[in-house]
Amino acid sequence: MYRVKYDKKFLKKFKKLIKNGLKQKYIDDIYQVIDTLSSGKKLESLYRDHKLTGELDGYRECHIQGDLLLIYQIYESELVLVLIDIGSHSEIF
């Protein structure tokens, strides 16, 4: 089981998404992804989880729904999952 840490950027953008009317289904999906990752399990293929390269080397990205992306990093040695960012492709990249 991984301990979950939330980057300030993630928290700010997640709160903004909720305030702007993010559908409850998407919120539930986000929490499901966090639960899956924090328990050390792999995500289902529908989330298109993959490593990032370039400036974001060492990070991972998954698609919550359509163009709603979650950027995260796992520190195996410390058993920590860090949620880095959330938003659309154009907002993140």
CATH architecture of the domain formed by 3-88 = 2-Layer Sandwich (3.30)
pLDDT level of residue 93 (50, 70, 90 thresholds): confident
91 vs 93: CA distance, rounded Å: 6
Give residue limits of the domains in the chain. Answer: 3-88
- Per-residue pLDDT for 5 more than 90? yes
Percentage with pLDDT > 90 across the chain: 98
Look at the pTM and tell me if it is higher than 0.85. Answer: yes
74 vs 25: CA distance, rounded Å: 25
Q: For 53-65, write each residue's pLDDT tens digit.
A: 999 999 999 999 9
In contact, 80 and 87? CB cutoff 8 Å: no
Mean pLDDT along residues 19-29: 96
